[in-house]
Amino acid sequence: MSDQGAWLHVRAAGMDLLFSTLDLREVVASASVSPLPGRPSGIQGVVVYEGEFLPVLAWQDLPGCGVSASNPVAMAVLRPRLGIPLEQIIGTMELPPDAWRETDEKDPGAAWQGGVCQVGDLVLRLVDADRLIALLRRFRGDR
């Protein structure tokens, strides 16, 4: 996990999360999300991004997540073409290799997390872009 370069620390869905900066295309201002008819699980709708429709994650559909307490202020755009609503951008950080541990398999968010990092009293969950996209594809297959 420590070979991922810098990490972006954010708050979303009431949690402290980490994204590898290598998984991010960019972080942009929050935009109004257009809902989709028959909304697929995991996707709240779309925004127009660089002239194309970009699906936007619905945190409340993911295991271990709830509805965000506040409106998003920004959106992380993952390289796999997915918008992630963010409540707060805290900043980038370098993390010591010994701060990492595997996600507990009993954690409901284990399906989309790539590990957990403990920094003092703060527990940061790594959003694994590949696991997240795979989970959204499973949701689509379950329809």
The pair of three-digit structure tokens given for residue 99, joined into one six-digit string:
């701060």
Phi-psi domain of 12 (left: phi exceeds 0; alpha: psi -120 through 50; beta: other): beta
Instruction: Give pLDDT, residue 96.
Output: 84
Instruction: Give pLDDT, residue 67.
Output: 80
Q: Which CATH number fits domain 2-141: 3.40.50.12280, 2.40.50.180, 3.60.130.10, 3.40.50.1000?
A: 2.40.50.180
**Sequential pLDDT tens for the chain (143 residues):** 445 578 999 999 999 999 999 999 999 999 999 999 989 999 999 999 999 999 999 999 999 998 877 899 999 999 989 999 999 999 999 888 888 999 999 999 999 999 999 988 999 999 999 999 999 999 987 65
Instruction: Give pLDDT, residue 2.
Output: 44
Q: What is the pTM of this model?
A: 0.90
Distance between CA atoms of residues 125 and 52, nearest Å: 30
